[in-house]
Chains A and B, each alone.
Chain A
Amino acid sequence: MLKEKRNLMLYKQDFEKFFRLLSETFTIFGPSKTDGSRSFTKIDASDEIAFDYENTKMSLKEFFFPQTETLFFFDTEKNEVKQTDVETNKHDKQNILFGVRPCDAMSISFLDKVFNANNPQDLYYTRRRKSTRIVSFACTNPASTCFCTSVGCGPDSETGADIIFFELNGRYFIKTVTPEGEKTIKSAEKLLNPATKNDIEEKVHLMKTANSNLKKIFDSGNLQKKLDNFNAPYWGKLHRKCLGCGICTYLCPTCHCFDITDEVIKSNGRRIRTWDSCMFSLFTLHASGHNPRPTQKERMRQRIMHKFNYAPKYYGKTFCVGCGRCVIYCPVNMDIRDVMKEIMEER
């Protein structure tokens, strides 16, 4: 492990140079002005980065766990299987995801628990993950839909990041979080100076303000206990306005359910993995026609329970980082914060 995390300073006027030096060794992805911060895209020049974005519409997960992925090709006549190259390997350089929000960085540490565990380990996810550094950007101006501090994350959370940036007046405060993070900035070392006591104070003050702008809405610890009641009466009501679309799970950075399908044309086939969602009626439909989650009630319960009850039990973490995407994009304004409040208030 890193002996000491370093606090470094970079003048904003040197950022362009910093970016260029890093891009010699890395391919850089970030929220870009050109696609209106829809997702993380390849950035060629430092001024393409949208620094003031709230959160990309699509979360970071699609970078490591794309919506559609070919696992391998096969030939049913020749009886052959051909392994595909993992897609990120087409860039010969390693990647940097730059300007990641701390909630998204934390979400990747959760996906690691699912896909990058010892047994089984997901080859596709892990390869991408190994070739990618995460440089996050502390939030100084959280959106009204953010509730990271209610779920154990926060605007300056370091979990999942290799490096974290704080934007101070005219300069960036850079903290290296992991040894990989240290290696990442090596080539730009000459632009960086150690942070002074003043710098640190300014940073602490900045984050205090950001933290105070975030209301703690519920206590995710108590919530887990509360949810142990699988047959609580509120499940009969909460789901009623839910349309059963997949928005809340497709946009969620921690949702990771997938389906596997073989597509075969004549003798050429491929096995693909695609995102799936517990909010879909087909999610648990058996071949017999039986569906153990026959209505939206059971599906809504699954979504909430998985995030706030099962995941804490199996992984020790609430699988929600408070990014607010499901809050913003749900077509019927199903606000997960409200759902939590309602559940907490129930006796």
Chain B
Amino acid sequence: MRQIEYEIINTVEKLFADKKIDIFIGYKKGTLSLQTSPYFLSEQDDVRKLVWNSFCSNNLAVFIPRIIPNSKSKESKPVGILCKGCDSRSLVGLIKEKQINRDNLFIIGISCPGIVDRRKILSRLDGKEIIGIDEDADSIVVKLKDGEKRFEKEEYLCESCLNCAHPTPSIYDVLIRGAVYSLQAITPDPITKDFSSKPREERWKIFETEVSKCIRCYACRDACPNCYCKECFAEQTKPQWLGVSKGLSEVIFYHIVRILHQAGRCVDCGACVRACPMDINLRLFTRVMVDEVKERFGYEPGISLKDTPPLATFSADDKQEFMTEPE
């Protein structure tokens, strides 16, 4: 970990020194244990504050459409960004959807060993206060007032990391090779496969129970690089698609549309799940979409800049047995 951190720091330092970039987005130490925080730095900031560890959980691609207007001219310097596998897949999506220009990015790719789910660890601490964290290749050691607890990373990774097929970035300008997460990725995902195999009523019940906890803070949307719309349907007033209350039907409507808008686009980074303050298992539903798209159209978003997204194309032999005549 340390070694990789040095490599990142040196690379970024050189990028600034060579005047290749004016701004870099990475991670710095968080104010809470088990967390890091996105770090925007320019040349005068302290590059040694950059960190790389198992808690670099934000998908940094989310900031790109916010800070680079898509009209940005070629002459201005690219924005530097640190990308895990999933962050780079999001960038591929943004480039294909013409939100940004590849030339306006300088990507430091990093092969990713997986992000540790801080909530999984917190749930094992009985509310005890953490006074320190140590991390080695395989485990996280949490220091408490009355001793310490060791957590094997493999058991405490985020759900999306547990089944990540592409931990190494799909696009980059420089690649830093670290340990790559080594478990075998499976499609469809075992958790969502289990969900999909349930009868319709039961699935609906699960969906309803999960989303009924929603407070409509929209953090799931705001943390997702795919949600760059200037005006989100959820807040549109002309026409108004859904009411503004916290009622169940509004919440359900919001979630169904958000999930459907991710079809063929969601890279299963898990940023939405980690952002949700209500611990709603949003991945259960977006991952179903990911698996369906892969199965029906053989498409995985974010892997290549060339292939056409399923929603942007038509083929005569597209599967369509799920289309039903109105009864």
**Residues of A with Cβ closer than 8 Å to B?**
52, 54, 57-58, 67-68, 143-145, 237, 240-241, 243-247, 250-251, 259, 261, 263, 272, 274, 277, 280, 282, 327-329, 331-335, 337-338
Contact = CB atoms under 8 A, between A and B. Distances in A.
B127 interface: yes
A259 B243 CA distance: 12
B58 interface: yes
B217 A68 contact: no
B155 to A, nearest CB: 22
Name B's interface SS: loop
Contact of A241 (B37, B216, B219, B245): B37
A144 B277 contact: no
A143 B247 CA distance: 33
Tier of interface size on chain B: 20 to 34
5 contacts: A68-B244, A145-B32, A327-B31, A331-B222, A331-B275
B93 to A, nearest CB: 18
A331 B30 CA distance: 11
Interface in B106-132: 127, 129-130
A122 B129 CA distance: 41
B218 A246 contact: yes
Contacts of B217: 245-247, 250, 277
B145 to A, nearest CB: 11
Contact of B36 (A243, A263, A333, A334): A333
A243 B31 contact: no
Contacts of A272: 244-245
B235 interface: yes
B305 to A, nearest CB: 26
Contact of B275 (A52, A245, A263, A277): A245
Given A331-B58, A333-B32, A335-B31, A240 B245 contact: no
A333 B30 CA distance: 7
B246 A337 contact: no
A52 B127 contact: yes
A151 B129 CA distance: 22
Most A C-beta atoms less than 10 A away, residue of B35, B58, B245, B277: B277
B245 A332 contact: no
Contacts of A244: 222
B277 A329 contact: yes
Contacts of B39: 241
Nearest to B40: A240
Given A332-B58, A337-B31, A241 B277 contact: no
Given A52-B127, A246-B217, A331 B223 contact: yes
A329 B217 CA distance: 12
B274 interface: yes
B218 A245 contact: yes
B215 interface: yes
B219 A328 contact: no
B63 interface: yes
Given A274-B245, A331-B274, A333-B30, A67 B223 contact: no
Interface string B221-257: 1110000000000010000000111110000000000
Interface in B23-39: 30-32, 35-39
A68 B218 contact: no
Contacts of B35: 333
Given A143-B129, A243-B222, A245-B217, 8 more contacts: A67-B246, A144-B129, A144-B130, A245-B275, A259-B244, A282-B235, A331-B275, A333-B36
Most B C-beta atoms less than 10 A away, residue of A240, A280, A327: A240
B161 interface: no
Closest 10 CB pairs of A and B: A245-B219, A331-B275, A333-B37, A68-B245, A243-B222, A335-B31, A246-B217, A241-B38, A245-B222, A329-B277
Contacts of A247: 217, 219, 275, 277
Interface string B246-278: 110000000000000000000000000011011
Contacts of B243: 261, 263
Contacts of B218: 245-246, 280
Nearest to A251: B277
B62 interface: yes
B59 to A, nearest CB: 10
Contacts of B129: 143-144
Contacts of A250: 215, 217
